[in-house]
A and B are shown apart, each in its own frame.
Chain A
Amino acid sequence: MRIVVDLTRCQGYAQCVFLAPKMFQLHGEEGLLYAPAVPDDQAERVRQAAAACPVQAILLGEEVSADGR
């Protein structure tokens, strides 16, 4: 699973950081840094984070596969 956060929408509510602290981190008080590639053991937490984001800025899905299909 991959994620991308629409940081144009993100308002730094940090709900994602609380719920999946290995994947999302605050940089300073408000800036968000995250790991785009989600290992299987973090998938459930990331789903919770995506559901919780107050501005629904976290998008999850699979990436286009490398052979272009």
Chain B
Amino acid sequence: MAGDLRDGRIVIVGASLAGLRAAEALREEGFTGSLTVVGDEPYPPYDRPPLSKQVLLGRVAADSTGLPMRRDPEADWRLGVRASGLDPLGKRVVLADGKSLPYDRLLIATGTRARTWPNPEEAALDGVFTLRTRDDAGELAERLAAGPRRVLVIGGGFTGSEIASACRERGLEVTVTERGPAPLVGALGGTLSKLAAAMHRNNGVDLRCGVTVTALRGDASGRFMGADLSDGSRVEADVCVAALGAVRNVEWLADSGLAAGPRGIACDAGCRAFNMYGIVTDDVFVAGDVSRFPHPLFGYQMLSLEHWGNAVAQAEVAAHNMVSPGPLRRPHLAIPTFWSTQFGLNIKSVGVPTFSDHVVIAQGSLEARRLAMVYGYQGRVTAAVTVDMAKSLDYYRHLIETAAPFPPAPGAADRPIAADIPVPSDVPDPKGLSHGPTVALTGYLPDRRLTVVHPTG
């Protein structure tokens, strides 16, 4: 293979969004060699965002979210098989069924899984769920359709909020518990989290902030019945969803010598994995939720993102770099972008809202539930979040890309008076939240202790 990068053997581990997009892109780049995609789920690649939205609303079936191919990547799909180890010297992926796959270049796209309720016995109660896979969503949707008396959602992050929203739309009673002061506070900071809390309450969610769930209770036959909260109260419910954030699927790499840890696999801007000594490898690449990568616009901090768009963009860069000689390789510099639909609002973010010290509402207002909030760090724009104002997002993306001064220049016709008054962004330490962050800065910036995520496992 040394001669021609467009030939040889490529193995992709992880048959989901990043894996599929990389496989397609490899063929688009002209790769003609053998391509094998390994996935431990028994299904062909499917899309996850609908699982907490359309699927829980009962509008589409959980097994209908299969991802379309842009082109047939003509790959050998090994589905329902887990990769259990990596021999980087022998250049082999070891599979759980005992076989092994030799590779010339490897792409790791094993993503994340749901963090489960920490007490295994309680987690095993009938009616206690997490939400990451299509099977999770199918079973949960079925329970919701059966009309439970109440649903308990533990964790007020994006997933937890979307679940609560779907439940309310179906007319179900919901309690959301969040250890932090408000939903979404970890991702969006103080001001917008107040809007989020208002949306929960206006839509009839029983929202309990500043509390933790101390125990899940089951009846004699092992059915979930309710939970005890740290404030001494009790919630009676038939269904519980632990929306506690995600865990990176890196365990299979424990003996590989790669820089794989709880926050993901570290790679360079060209998606090449680092080994544990911080030396970059040249034949192992990483993409999607499982990666952490440096970004120049955010102080070269290592970002780990749970963003659909990042998985797509990074997979394409990784694929390009896997079949391109050094000087022709591209950096993965896409600005993080995320969306969430909940309680009838379309929330979109660009940049890294947690990489901020102040915010202003640059357009619209909280009262109108239609606004653009701009985040700044040390006098420059680092992120923006729009609520039902997606058409403005490109403008703010441009401000981020050009490191425009914060607060942003005035001039918008719908600029509120509040735009003159930046307020602290008020992003709490993720350790104080029920759910993990969907964007984490995992590097080290001396003056930003709050955004440093300490791996807690």
Measured CB to CB, the residues of A under 8 A from B are 1-4, 6-13, 25, 27-37, 59-66, 68-69
- Across the interface, do B54 and A2 meet the contact criterion of CB distance under 8 Å? no
- How far apart are the CA atoms of A3 and B67 in the complex, in Å? 7
Q: Chain A residues near B78 (CB, 8 Å)?
A: 68
A27 proximity list for chain B (CB < 8 A):
53, 341, 344, 346
Residue of B with least CB distance to A63: B66
**Complex contact A63–B309 (CB within 8 A):** no
Q: How many residues of B contact A (CB 8 A)?
A: 46
A2: which B residues are within 8 A, CB to CB? 66-68
A residues less than 8 Å from B59 (CB atoms): 25, 33, 35
Given contacts A8-B307, A62-B68, 5 further A-B contacts (CB under 8 A): A3-B68, A8-B338, A31-B341, A37-B66, A66-B43
Answer whether A64 and B309 are a contact pair too, CB < 8 Å, given A8-B337, A12-B346. Answer: no
Tell me, yes or no, whether B390 is within 8 Å of chain A by CB.
yes
Partner of A69, one of B60, B77, B370: B77
State whether A28 touches B346 (Cβ < 8 A): yes
- Residues of chain A contacted by B370 (CB below 8 angstroms): 29
Q: How far is the CB of A7 from chain B (nearest CB, A)?
A: 5
What are 12 A-B contacts with C-beta separation under 8 Å? A4-B47, A4-B67, A6-B312, A9-B309, A11-B394, A12-B390, A29-B388, A32-B346, A35-B60, A36-B54, A36-B64, A64-B45
Q: A1 near B68 (CB under 8 angstroms)?
A: yes
Given the interface pairs A11-B393, A12-B390, the reply to whether A28 lies near B68 with Cβ below 8 Å is no
Are A34 and B54 neighbours in the complex by a CB distance under 8 Å?
yes
Contact between chains at A4 and B54 (CB < 8 Å): no
Chain A neighbourhood of B278, CB < 8 A: none
A68 near B54: Cβ-Cβ < 8 Å: no
Q: Which residues of B contact A68 (CB under 8 A)?
A: 44, 76-79
Contact of B390 among A30, A37, A62 (CB under 8 A): A30
A62 to B70, alpha carbons, bound, how many Å?
8
- Is the CB–CB distance between A10 and B54 below 8 Å? no
Centre residue among B43, B67, B68, B307 by max chain A CB count within 10 A: B68
Chain A: which residue is nearest B42 at the CB level?
A66
Q: In the complex, what residues of B have CB within 8 A of residue A64's CB?
A: 20, 44-45, 66-67, 69, 77
Write out the residue numbers on chain B whose beta carbons fall within 8 Å of the beta carbon of A30: 345-346, 388-390
State the Cβ distance, A28 to closest chain B Cβ, in Å: 3
Interface residue? B391 (CB, 8 A): yes
Contact in complex: A36, B60 (CB < 8 Å): yes
Which of B47, B49, B76 counts the most A-chain CB atoms under 10 A from its CB? B47
Q: Assuming A8-B337, A64-B44, is B60 touching A59 (CB within 8 A)?
A: no
Residues of B within 8 A of A (CB): 20, 43-47, 49-50, 53-54, 57, 59-61, 64-72, 76-79, 307-309, 312, 337-339, 341, 343-346, 370, 388-391, 393-394
B390 touches A10 (CB 8 A): yes
Interface centre among A6, A37, A63 (most CB of B within 10 A): A63
Q: Are B47 and A7 in contact (CB under 8 A)?
A: no
Q: Using CB atoms, name the residue of chain A closest to B308.
A: A8
Q: With a CB–CB cut-off of 8 A, which chain A residues contact B65?
A: 36-37
- Complex: A62 Cα to B45 Cα, angstroms: 11
Of A2, A13, A60, A64, chain B has the most CB atoms within 10 Å of the CB of: A64
The interface residues of chain A lying within 8 Å CB-to-CB of B346 are 12, 27-32
Which chain B residue shows the least CB distance to A29?
B388
With A36-B64, A68-B78 as given contacts, are A63 and B69 in contact (CB-CB < 8 Å)?
yes
| Distance (whole angstroms) from the CB of B99 to the closest CB of chain A | 15
Contacts of A59 in B (CB 8 A): 68, 70
Which residue on A lies nearest to B44, using beta carbons? Answer: A64
Q: Which chain A residues border B46 with CB–CB below 8 Å?
A: 63
How far is B162's CA from A46's CA once the two chains are assembled, in angstroms?
26
In the bound complex, do residue B309 and residue A8 qualify as a contact, i.e. CB atoms below 8 Å apart?
yes
B50 touching A36 by the CB < 8 A rule? yes
- Residues in B whose Cβ lies below 8 Å from that of A65: 44
On chain B, the residues within 8 Å of A31 by CB distance are 341, 344-346
Most chain B CB within a 10 A radius of its CB, from A2, A27, A29: A27
